[in-house]
Structure formats: C-alpha cells, structure tokens
Amino acid sequence: MKQLILCLIILLGSKTNYALGDSLSLQRMIQEAEQAFGTIEINFAFQRQQLQGEWQLMWKQCTESKHTDFPCWIGMQQLQQEALVLEQLESLQLLKIRYRKGIDLIKLLYEKILALDHHFSSMNTFQNILNMSNPNNYPGFQQVGSLIEERLKKRNLIQLPGILQSNPYLTATFSLVASLLGEGESGEKQKDFEEIACILDFTVRMRSDLSVIQHETEYLKLANQQLKEACEKLFEDYVAVIDYLVPLERCRKNDDWEKLFIQLDEYIRLLEVELAGQEPGMLPTYSPNRNFVNLEFSTQRVAEFIGKYNDFINLGTQYYQKFDNIVSNYEYEDLCQEDLPYQFSELQEDIEQTIMKFLNTYRLPEIQGSRMKDLLYGFQG
C-alpha cells in the first residue's frame, strides 16, 4: 500500500495535464509552481554563494598585491558579469514556470467556456417560451376554443382569422368575448371560463416575464461566444511569443499540448544560451530584454482575462437568480398546477440547475486568490 501511495505521489508530481474544472487541480497547480520556484531559488542561491566566495578570494588577491594586477581586476569584472548573468538566468527560469502555468490556465478557462457554450446551445428556451406564451398551444384551450367556435357558427357570428390566432393577446380577448356571445346556457359559459381561466391568466400575465428570460438568455449566449473568441485570441497572442502558430481550437482537438511545451522549452533554452554566451567584459543590463518583456506581458494578460471570465460568471449567476425569481413568483401556480404546461416546470428546473453550475462548476475561487495573482504577476515571497 505504501508503495502504491508513493507511486501516485510521484505521478501527480510529474503530471502537467491537470484535471480541468477541479479545485484540487488548481491548488495543485499553484503548489507545484511554488515548489518549483523554491527549488530554482535554492539552486541559484547556492551558485551565487559560490561566486561570492570566488569574488572575495580574488578581491583579497587584488588588494594585497603590491603592484596593479590588471588580470586580477579583469577576473573580478568577469565574476561580476557571471553574477549578473546568473541573476537573469534565474529570472528566466521563474518566468518559464509562470508562462507554462499561464497555458494551463488558458486550457482550463477554455474548457469552461466551451461547456457554457454547449449549455446555451442545447437549451430550448426560445421555443419553449413561444409555446408557453401562446394559449393556442394548450390542448385544453384548443378544446374549449373549438366548442366556442361551433357556437359562434350556429349564430353566424364573426370568427377570428387564422393569421391572428398566433397573437396571444388577440386570442385571449377573442376567446373571452366569444364565450359571452356564443350560444349556450350561462352554466356552460361559466364552465368554459373556468376551464380556460388558468391558461389565459398564465399566458397573459407571464408573457412579458418569459420574454425577459428569453432575450437575456440570448444575451448571455452571445456574451459567452464573445468570451470564447477572446480566449482564442489570447492564446494566439500568448503562444506567438514562442513562435507557436497553431490556433487554440486545433491545438485542443489534436491534443498538441506536448509539442507546445517542447517548443517553450526550446525557446527558453535558446535564450539561456544567448545570455550565457555574452562576450567577456560586456556587462549584461539589469533591464530585461525584449524577449523577457514579451513573456512577462503575456502572463499578465492571462491575469486580465481571468478578471473578464469572473465578471461573466458573476453576471450569469445574477441573471439566472433573476430568472429564478421570475418563475417562482407566478401567483396562481398552486391553483393552476394541472393546467400549466410541462415546459414551465422544465424551465424552473433548468434555471435551478444552471444556478448550481454557475456557483459550483464555472465559478473558480482559486483563480481569484492572492496565490494565483502572485504566480501570474511574479511575486515570489
């Protein structure tokens, strides 16, 4: 058992493909990054300590010499250069970790956005609301309406043209007036009223509220599509820095992540060779070069996109809580339960489930925490 647990720990420690949508994977991502930061800092601290020891010995040699020892002073200058190069190599290694974790975060958020896109695409909100808003779609209303029409025919009274039957307001008004004008005893007319009362009340009273749900759901769907496009553009710009030109959608479809990480490793290796291969006597600048700036700026753009994603999730949560308030406040739901369309209960259930998804699946508290910001902005404590 101990051996099995040890193997699992090793596998988890070396694994770079995190389980998407899982809080533990985000925590593990942060922990692995922090551990890697610590390892790098310890390694470079040891190398700096060695250089410092060499520099102190050479300083003693140069200052104790009775004559100006130019080779000695040149040697000290070279050690100073090595120390500065070492500092930049350390910064590059730390930046590589942050950049790679940025790719992991883009992968994670893209999967969430695709899940939302699938959710909105699979919803039948538009058609269901159309069906619920028109009394002519209710079997009970159709049956009573047919009886009323028969009575009107017997008295040769006007009938509602077919083109107007799709208008719920005209249909409701005509049905009420027709039931009064048609043949039949008052008892029959009263019965007709009672049979269609719930249907007419629900369709007329709830039509505007259901229309709000319909239009605002379409708005959220469009906003999510825009967020998806923004994520794809972010990835395109992010990996262009290391000359990776495969779009996010194709990279995901072809599972090309390993190739991307290999390209990142090669890009960083070439930068390290460039830093380490500077001419003796040419002191490297403390300011990062253009490649450093591009990598640094890219990781900060991921942090900014996280803010946009969180804003959308908060907006979606608020909208669906509003929808829940709308469908939960129909005054005669208990009284008219038998006459309400099945789509209404489906809509209520879908809204409740979507709220839970926004709160528990799409909302990612870990990406908003200070540790994640430290990772992306490079604040190592």
Task: Pinpoint the alpha helices (H) of the chain.
Answer: 2-14, 23-64, 70-122, 125-133, 139-154, 168-181, 186-240, 248-253, 257-276, 290-327, 342-357, 370-377
Pick the last residue of a domain from 168, 189, 205: 205
228, HSE (Cβ side, Cα atoms, 13 Å): 16
197, amino acid identity: A
Pairwise CA distance, residues 313 & 310, whole Å: 5
Find out whether 269 and 133 touch, Cβ atoms under 8 Å: no
Q: What is the pLDDT along the chain (381 residues), one digit of tens a residue?
A: 333 333 333 333 333 333 344 566 777 887 788 788 888 888 888 887 887 777 777 777 777 666 666 677 677 777 777 788 888 888 889 889 889 999 999 999 999 999 999 888 877 776 777 777 777 677 666 665 555 555 555 554 445 455 445 555 555 555 555 555 455 555 555 555 666 777 777 777 788 888 889 899 999 999 999 999 999 999 999 999 999 999 999 999 999 999 999 999 999 998 888 877 755 445 444 444 677 788 888 888 998 999 999 999 999 999 999 999 998 888 777 777 777 788 888 888 889 999 999 998 898 888 777 777 777 776 554
Residues 82, 181 share a domain: no
Number of domains observed in the structure of the chain: 2
Range of the domain at 141: 135-205
Residues 178, 289 share a domain: no
Going by C-alpha positions, the residue among 76, 84, 83, 71 that lies closest to residue 57 is 76
Residues 365, 257 share a domain: yes
Residues 119, 28 share a domain: yes
Cβ neighbours around 311 below 10 Å, total: 12
Find out whether 70 and 332 touch, Cβ atoms under 8 Å: no
Pairwise CA distance, residues 355 & 232, whole Å: 26
Going by C-alpha positions, the residue among 150, 146, 174 that lies closest to residue 161 is 174
Cβ neighbours around 346 below 10 Å, total: 13
Find out whether 21 and 81 touch, Cβ atoms under 8 Å: no
Residues 328, 232 share a domain: yes
Pairwise CA distance, residues 135 & 194, whole Å: 14
CA angle 20/22/24 to nearest 5° reads 125
* Domain presence at residue 146: yes
Pick the last residue of a domain from 185, 205, 225: 205
Find out whether 40 and 90 touch, Cβ atoms under 8 Å: yes
Helix (H) or strand (E) holding 55: helix 23-64
Pairwise CA distance, residues 253 & 262, whole Å: 18
* Domain presence at residue 350: yes
Pairwise CA distance, residues 58 & 279, whole Å: 21
What are the backbone dihedrals phi and psi of residue 241, each rounded to the nearest 5 degrees, phi first? -60, -35
* Domain presence at residue 4: no
Helix (H) or strand (E) holding 153: helix 139-154
